[in-house]
Structure 1
């Protein structure tokens, strides 16, 4: 089960961010700016954000495994068409469709795990799924970086599509049939009440905002970093820039270790630690030397993936019913943050260079800390200890 969902995570992030490391080449091919090219990323994450809630409703009715399988099938098919996009407009449109198709994965996967995995093992299980995301994001960028250097961005994206097909087939063959799923209703009124109940929960609202803000940082940094490293004073070739994404391996480790971090610090303590680590990485990346920039990316990546794993697992524990909708709302907020971060980071880079992108990230981290502090104050008022191990933040 864990390995199947790990592969699903690999395919999801590899496809979702398949153009991110290639943005300088796409800009050159179509003669567009960084902010224009960034829409190839924002369209995919935006499509996912819009469709994740409807897809979660389908998973409540037809089953998690069915929806995840269908979503991957459509996404990998579109992935094989992306290399043939004749213009930036067509490329953005195909990426939006691909993102909408991938919407069936994140919410359904976390709901599937919440239903099939023992509560004590849930954080670790979701951490492994998130680790698959990090491996997919890393491998996709590294593979496309070197392939694009030799054969261009179109061949690179096509190669990634073939790899995603293999992951999708293996996922379907390996994923066990659910044992605890109970079909729900597709009636709009029932869905609306479930969504309303989740949004009325202040804890869930805080978790959704935290996920969005963490992803704002991550989306902005990794959308722009390719431009920064290909320009002076670094002037790195595309293959080396793609290899920079090997720092995603740090995210694999930090996401997998999220359960131990929560056990030691409590959930809010883990979120403070993740936010502080991310902020330190942003500041370190301001240096004009390659080594501190890479160390900064390591810290940003570690902090982001740890924070995401902690927040997303808390959503699964907090929602006792309508888990797919609860997870879908988190994923929607998360990918809205990605789209916003990609666009805002690129605009800030165009206006003020890398310092502008870092400024956007630091504002988002400040939001994470402030929201977590609100949770701490709420716990103090209710008489609960500030350092807790329950699903609160």
Structure 2
């Protein structure tokens, strides 16, 4: 009697052009829109918040740093909850809490209350980034993963752009409180559509909430040299981005630009460049490799920082375009590499990346504002260039380590 040959089961994970892929992509795109629109809803309004409460730029910048800091602190615990209760459940609950707080933000009676609400909002949003990338790693075929994560990051860029543009024009007519209220309502719509569209997970396997197992997974990830480098790269890229976009509104309200709030909000249309660069990250890695793509992203960002020093509005805008393109490309490449590198505990691996990334955002917002207060825009640019030098150095260390590994295997 002949042996029965076993036929491997077909791969049921989602792939571009296949059933459910578009719904999944659009749902997570909307989640990305809501996340960044809420997370940075006060960033374009900082000059108005400073005037409204009678505080300095560095004080007002805490409304951004509190949100990103809250996310950085809670992303790992939220990722653990997603391992136990499911990615879709945690993402839905996170958005529900975040949009509820978003509707309370316009009524903050003082800067202190506003900062607390923003911290709570950031903590709630912590359930989105790591859970989304873990969901994609489980539900999408590996060859399509970079593209799928790029689309989620593109949603981040659209959320960041639309939030700032909308708030800029609304605030010019009705003040910053009405502006953040409008963003809250937009986020409510995105959250409802997200929950209706996202396909139920088919490959999720519930894990344990046992603290010892969680700490063991975290130690495994932190012991991986490649993951450590990717975490540092994400933090440094976001230090640049957080600093630049926290301070740019102050610079453009001053001489020689003296732009009105609505026009300053429209400056954030350059986020569309980030949408394109993030969504094409997969092709960039295919042509240049991961490290080549990171070199290109870092170099593009540095060129933009230098251009932004000019007292010419067209050159400043071109600088912002390059900064945005380089940042989103680098972020999409690094975050997708984390999902590919982690062999287990993907939610924790992604959570550690997101934690480092948003710590970078908080540091960039605070240090960038302090540097601007001390030395003007050139101080903020100096902070950004130091961060990019770190990105290039870490990537170079990765290149050297890879060559040593190849030579060792050859012998």
TM-score bracket relative to the smaller structure: over 0.9
Structure 1 position 132 matched with structure 2 position 155:
yes
Paired residue for 1:56, among 74, 79, 86?
A: 79
Paired with 1:371 and 1:115, the residues of 2 have a C-alpha distance of: 29
Residue 217 of structure 1 is matched in structure 2 by: 240
- The equivalent residue for 1:8 is 31
Q: Which of the numbers 375, 380, 383 marks the counterpart of 1:352?
A: 375
Cα separation, 2, equivalents of 1:164 and 1:17? 12
Note if 1:337 corresponds to 2:338: no
Query: Match for residue 390 of structure 1?
Result: none
Which residue of 36, 59, 80 corresponds with 1:36?
59
Corresponding residue to 1:373 among 396, 399, 402: 396
Partner of 1:149: 172
1:46 aligns with 2:69: yes
SS of the residue aligned with 2:127? coil
Q: CA deviation at 1:147?
A: 0.1
**What whole-Å deviation, never above 9, does each CA across 1:322-354 have from its counterpart, x for those lacking one?**
000000000000000000000000000000000
Unaligned runs of 5+ in 2: 1-23
Runs of 4+ in structure 1 displaced over 6 angstroms? none
Alignment of 1:299-318 (within 5 A): 299-318=322-341
1:320: how far off? 1.1
Deviation at 1:384, TM superposition (A): 6.9
Residue 253, structure 1, aligned to residue 281, structure 2: no
Count of aligned residue pairs for this structure pair: 385
**Counterpart Cα distance in 2 of 1:9 and 1:350:** 32
Structure 1 residue 159 and structure 2 residue 182: aligned? Answer: yes
Q: 1:118 aligns with which of 141, 160, 165?
A: 141
Question: In the alignment, which of 6, 15, 18 is matched to residue 41 of structure 2?
Answer: 18
Residue 268 (structure 1) shift:
0.2
Corresponding residue for residue 227 of structure 2: 204
| Partner residue in 2 for 1:179 | 202
Q: Residues of 1 paired with 2:254 and 2:190: CA distance?
A: 34
Give me the CA root mean square deviation: 0.7
Question: 1:151–1:68: structure 2 CA closer, same or farther, 3 Å change rule?
Answer: same
Pick from 298, 314, 318: which aligns with 1:291? 314
Aligned mate of 1:72, from 95, 98, 101: 95
Q: Over residues 169-215 of structure 1, what are the superposed CA-to-partner deviations in whole Å (9 max), with x where a residue is unaligned?
A: 00000000000000000000000000000000000000000000000
